[in-house]
C-alpha cells in the first residue's frame, strides 16, 4: 500500500511539473483586438441619406419650417479581432481577421435604436510570406477604395462617398506584392479576383414573366465571371504616396437558365494620392466609370434592367457613366490640434440619367439624382488613443424630376472617439 501511495505521489508530481512546463511555454498564437468606440452628438436641418448621423452622405429633403433635429449615434464603433501563427508552408505566417460594426440596423421593438444589430465588415484569412508577398482569402475592402477623407464622425461611411469615392467590400482572393526602391521608395502591386455584384434585393427573387430567371443568384453571379481589380501604389515613407486602380465585372441581365440576352458591365478607374509636408497634409482622389452602383456609385442606386420591365416603365439597355473626386487639406497647429477642410463631388452623366429608369425614386429621393457636392470642415484634438472633433458638413444635391431640383442640408457633429 505504501508503495502504491508513493507511486501515486510520484506520478502526480511528474504531471504537475509537466503542466508547469507547458504553462511556461509561449503560445504559438498571437491574439489582437483593435478598433475604436465612437460617439457623435449631431444636429441636422434636412433629411439625409442613407440615414442621419454617422451614415449621412447626401441630402434628400429640405424643410421650410421646424428644420432642426438633434440626436446621437454610436453605430460606427468598430471591433477587429485577429489571430496569427504559427508558421506554415515553410515560413508563411497565417492570420485570421474578423471585423464588425453596428450599421446593420435597429433591433426590434420601440427601443430598437438602442439595441443595434452588428454588421460583418471583414472576414478573411491571410498568408504573409514575410518577403513582401501576401495572399488573402475572404471578405475585404475593394482595392479601388484606396483612401478616404480624414474624419472622426464619418469613418465607416466616409463623406467621400457620393462625393468622389467608389469601392465597397466583397468575398475574393487577393494578392499584395511589395517591392523596394532607392532612397526609401516603395511600390506595391495588388490584385483581386472576387464575386461580381449587382443589386441583391432586386435580382435575387422572381419578377414578372420575361424578367431575369435568377433562382437565388444575382444577375452578376449569373454572368459566370468574377469581378477583377488591380492597383499600383508608389510611396516614399510618410512623405507622399500615389495610386492608380481599376475595376471590371459584368452581369447577365437574363439571369441563369436563359440563353443569350443583354449584358451590362461595371468599369471604373480611380487615381489619387497624399502629400505630407511638415504640418500640412493634402490628399485627393478622382474616378470615372460606368454602372457603378455596386461600388457605392450613382447615389447607391441601381438602374432598372431591361429584363425587369413589368409595365409601362420605358426601360432601355443603357449605360450610366459617372465621374467624381474629392480633395482635402489638413494643418496641424500642434501634434494634437489640427484643422481640416474638404470638398468633393459625384456627377452621373445627365444625358444617361435621363435615359435610365429606376423602379421608384431612388431611396425616397425627389427625383433622379444628378449631382452631389459635399463640403466639410473639422477641428480635431488627438491625445494618444483619445480624439475629440467638431465637424460641419454641407450637402448640395441636385435631382431631375419635372425640373431640376436642388436640396441642401447641413449637419453639425461633436464626436468622441477612443482608438485601441
Taking only the tens place, the pLDDT of each residue in 247-280 is 999 988 877 777 776 788 999 999 999 999 999 9
Q: Can you give the residue ranges of every domain in the chain? A: 30-419
User: What integer pLDDT is reported at residue 79 of this predicted model?
Assistant: 98
User: What integer pLDDT is reported at residue 311 of this predicted model?
Assistant: 52
| First-to-final CA distance of the chain | 59
Rg from Cα positions in the chain: 26
DSSP state of 165: B
Residue 228 CA from chain centroid, whole number: 17
Closest among 275, 365, 358 to 316, alpha carbons compared: 358
CATH class of the region 30-419: mainly beta
Using the structure block, give the residue that is written with the C-alpha cell 517591392: 179
DSSP of 209-257: TTS-B-TT--TTGGG---EEEEEEEEEETTTEEEEEEEEEEEEETTBTT
CA distance 43 to 391: 11
Joined grid coordinates for residue 88: 506554415
CA distance 222 to 258: 10
**CA trace torsion 173, 145, 153, 241 (10° rounding):** 110
CA distance 146 to 161: 12
Largest CA distance in the chain: 102
User: What integer pLDDT is reported at residue 215 of this predicted model?
Assistant: 59
Closest among 206, 121, 116 to 157, alpha carbons compared: 121
Beta bridge partners of 38: 417
DSSP state of 2: H
CA distance 157 to 73: 13
Using the structure block, give the residue that is written with the C-alpha cell 471583414: 122
Determine contact, residues 253/306, Cβ cutoff 8 Å: yes
User: What integer pLDDT is reported at residue 139 of this predicted model?
Assistant: 98
175 CB-near residues (< 8 Å, 6+ apart): 133, 134, 135, 136, 190, 191, 192
> Strands 58-62 and 93-105, how do they pair?
unpaired
Determine contact, residues 293/301, Cβ cutoff 8 Å: yes
Weakly modelled stretches of the chain, pLDDT under 70 = 1-24, 201-216, 261, 307-317
CA distance 123 to 139: 5
Amino acid at each position: 500500500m505504501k508503495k502504491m501511495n508513493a507511486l501515486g505521489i510520484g506520478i502526480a508530481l511528474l504531471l504537475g511539473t509537466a503542466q508547469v512546463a507547458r504553462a511556461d511555454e509561449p503560445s504559438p498564437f498571437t491574439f489582437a483586438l483593435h478598433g475604436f468606440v465612437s460617439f457623435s452628438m449631431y444636429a441636422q436641418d434636412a433629411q439625409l441619406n442613407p440615414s442621419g448621423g454617422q451614415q449621412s452622405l447626401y441630402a434628400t429633403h429640405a424643410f421650410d419650417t421646424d428644420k432642426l433635429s438633434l440626436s446621437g449615434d454610436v453605430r460606427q464603433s468598430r471591433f477587429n479581432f485577429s489571430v496569427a501563427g504559427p508558421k506554415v508552408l515553410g515560413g508563411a505566417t497565417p492570420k485570421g481577421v474578423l471585423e464588425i460594426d453596428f450599421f446593420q440596423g435597429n433591433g426590434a421593438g420601440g427601443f430598437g435604436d438602442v439595441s443595434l444589430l452588428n454588421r460583418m465588415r471583414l472576414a478573411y484569412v491571410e498568408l504573409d510570406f514575410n518577403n513582401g508577398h501576401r495572399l488573402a482569402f475572404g471578405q475585404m475592402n475593394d482595392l479601388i477604395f484606396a483612401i478616404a477623407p480624414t474624419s472622426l464622425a464619418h469613418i465607416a461611411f466616409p463623406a467621400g462617398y457620393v462625393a468622389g469615392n467608389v469601392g465597397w467590400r466583397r468575398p475574393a482572393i487577393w494578392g499584395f506584392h511589395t517591392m523596394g526602391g532607392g532612397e526609401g521608395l516603395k511600390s506595391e502591386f495588388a490584385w483581386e479576383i472576387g464575386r461580381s455584384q449587382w443589386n441583391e434585393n432586386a435580382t435575387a427573387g422572381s419578377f414578372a414573366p420575361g424578367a431575369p430567371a435568377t433562382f437565388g443568384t444575382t444577375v452578376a453571379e449569373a454572368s459566370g465571371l468574377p469581378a477583377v481589380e488591380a492597383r499600383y501604389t508608389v510611396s516614399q515613407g510618410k512623405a507622399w504616396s500615389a495610386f492608380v486602380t481599376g475595376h471590371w465585372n459584368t452581369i447577365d441581365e437574363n439571369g441563369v437558365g436563359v440563353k443569350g440576352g443583354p449584358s451590362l458591365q461595371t468599369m471604373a478607374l480611380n487615381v489619387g494620392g497624399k502629400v505630407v509636408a511638415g504640418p500640412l497634409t493634402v490628399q485627393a482622389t478622382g474616378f470615372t466609370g460606368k454602372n457603378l452602383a455596386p461600388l457605392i456609385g450613382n447615389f447607391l442606386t441601381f438602374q432598372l434592367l431591361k429584363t425587369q420591365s413589368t409595365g409601362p416603365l420605358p426601360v432601355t439597355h443603357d449605360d450610366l457613366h459617372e465621374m467624381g473626386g474629392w480633395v482635402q487639406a489638413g494643418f496641424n497647429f500642434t501634434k494634437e490640434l489640427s484643422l481640416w477642410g474638404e470638398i468633393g463631388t459625384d456627377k452621373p452623366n445627365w444625358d444617361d440619367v435621363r435615359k435610365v429608369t429606376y423602379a421608384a425614386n431612388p431611396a425616397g429621393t425627389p427625383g433622379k439624382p444628378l449631382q452631389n457636392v459635399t463640403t466639410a470642415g473639422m477641428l480635431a484634438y488627438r491625445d494618444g488613443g483619445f480624439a475629440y472633433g467638431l465637424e460641419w458638413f454641407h450637402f448640395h444635391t441636385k435631382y431631375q424630376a419635372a425640373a431640376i431640383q436642388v436640396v441642401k442640408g447641413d449637419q453639425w457633429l461633436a464626436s468622441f472617439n477612443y482608438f485601441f
